Chains A and B, each alone.
Chain A
Amino acid sequence: MILPGSSFLAVAVVALQAPVELVGADTAWMLMSTALVLLMTPALGFFYGGLVRSKNILNTLMMSVASLGVTGVVWALIGYSLAFSAGNAMIGGLDYAFLRGVGLEGGDWGAYPHLLFMAFQGTFAIITAALISGAVVERMRFGPYLTFIALWTIVVYAPIAHWVWGGGWIGALGALDFAGGTVVHVNAGVAAVVAAVLVGSRKDYGRQALLPHNVTYALLGAGLLWFGWFGFNGGSALAANEIAALAFVNTMLAPAATLVAWMLLDSLRSKKATAVGAATAIVVGLVAITPAAGFVSPLSALAVGAIAAFPSYYIILLRSRSRLDDSLDVFAAHGMGGLVGALLTGVFAQAVWGGTDGLLFGAPQAVLTQAIAILGAGIYSGIATFVLLKLISLVTPLRKAAREEGIGMDVVLHGEEGYARGEGAVLVLADGFFSDSGPNPTVPVGRIDTAKEAV
């Protein structure tokens, strides 16, 4: 499976190849990995949801959960084909549109069914779109958000995935991206900054303290993200083999090092290791090891994790003092973490550990290749995200009015509260609800104690 001089995941599909025989272990691991990565999106919802104010918890969760639906459908219909069917250096073709020809046979993707590869890649597209939401929480309207992530998956994610993994120009360059440091994290991080600028700051940003309402959710989400990331990185070996084990272990070690470094930085700065900091550190470490997971030694993974803590830590400090309301620091965690991880992949990669040799092992040009890949993906993501959001904003406003922002997105956009007490809730019955067939037609429409009892 390892194609020298190209990305590990490069699976440009060549037609008419002899089908690869299915291997049970590979199939089992990819089934499990796909489920693990899918779990990361609701986990991200909890990570983000804990960091917003309680009046916006449902909307923040829904921005992630809705991606499971919208991006999942878009991916199956068209996204997968644009990313992974045979095309040119810039974009795939329409051979697999509507999943035509995506069957149960093994192939260049590995010794497991093609359809499973489609689903595994779909979980990546889903979480990448959801990542962006962290920059626009607490004010963006839901409809334009859904429109945006649907279009973004087609126009931004699918081409960049094709460039790196589907036989496009970045893979051909020999850039290394094991599980998506560039495709997922640099891409989402840059898109997040553009989205934060175009949607605009929350009305109270920089004026009032906007505090996390439930830090326990943030830690719960970070923990579940870590768990799911074993599938994200381990599964990106596309087989149940030694590379999967390496990526898996590196996924355990790198965030551990980031966590230690982050707690030290926190302690040096304010004499206290913070829980929000720990949750952030876990995510930064996971992001940083993503491009390197199957290419570097375990000790290098520790180094990658520790080094990655520094830029993200200080960018978060700077960002929160700036006018840029990238509300949940998507750029610092994912953009910066992905950038540092992708560059360090070019430093620490080793042929004996499954990569191609990097800077430390006699191939300094690897760092340059990585930088070109980061720049290419980042610039395209920034421009295309800008154009998409501009177009949507010409049709409909991207955000809610200040008054509704004050009330909170949960009530305004979803007609629900995350922590409804139900006191004072009056049941509304549709006309005829209790008509002839009702158990007690004489009961008038009236007040009951709580909404919960009504259910």
Chain B
Amino acid sequence: MKLIVAVVRPEKLGDVLEALFRAEIRGLTVSGVQGHGGEMEQVETYRGVTVKMELHDKVRLEIGVSETFVQNTVEAILSSARTGEVGDGKVFVLPVEKVYRIRSGEQDEEAVTPQDPSLAQMLAQLEGVR
């Protein structure tokens, strides 16, 4: 299993979610964060006081997936979150020691969605055909 952590532009979140759902990736956590990735500064003015916004609003997604889904997930995020400009964000893939599903007590591969890798392969093929 892997934990995929992605930091993306908030205005791209809709596209990313759409891409993930298309790839049949269902379990995820989203949080609003602020960060700095070297993008061009955004200048704002309030009552004559000019400020550079050094930190930009970003969205962080955390997705626990089984090994077979890692590539699909990463590709879905890469293709949907990119604008080509500095500040598009990053995707981190982290090893996971243990996963428990609270409701059922299932563990590890059983506890991350989706559980059926053959379904995923089938969908990936379908996507390829399309």
Contact = CB atoms under 8 A, between A and B. Distances in A.
Interface of A: 55, 204, 207-208, 403, 406-408, 411, 415-417, 420-428, 430, 451, 454-455
B44 A415 contact: yes
A451 B83 contact: no
Contact of B46 (A403, A407, A430, A451): A451
B107 interface: no
Interface of B: 9, 11-12, 14, 18, 34, 36, 42-47, 49-56, 83
Contact of A416 (B14, B36, B44, B56): B44
Nearest to A425: B51
B52 A425 contact: yes
Contacts of B14: 204, 207-208
Contacts of A427: 49-51
Given A403-B83, A406-B12, A451-B51, A424 B46 contact: no
Q: Is the interface of B mostly helix, strand, loop or mixed?
A: strand
A73 B42 CA distance: 33
A454 B11 contact: no
Contacts of B53: 424-426
B43 A415 contact: yes
Contact of B11 (A207, A408, A415, A417): A408
Given A204-B14, A208-B14, A407-B11, A420 B49 contact: no
A455 B49 contact: yes
Given A208-B14, A406-B11, A406-B12, A426 B46 contact: no
Contacts of B9: 406
Considering residues A403, A421, A428, which has the most beta carbons from chain B within 10 angstroms of its beta carbon?
Answer: A428
Contacts of A430: 50
B44 A426 contact: no
A424 B50 contact: no
Contacts of A207: 14
Contact of A451 (B11, B12, B34, B49): B49
A137 B121 CA distance: 43
Given A451-B46, A451-B49, A454-B49, A423 B34 contact: yes
Given A408-B11, A454-B51, A424 B34 contact: yes
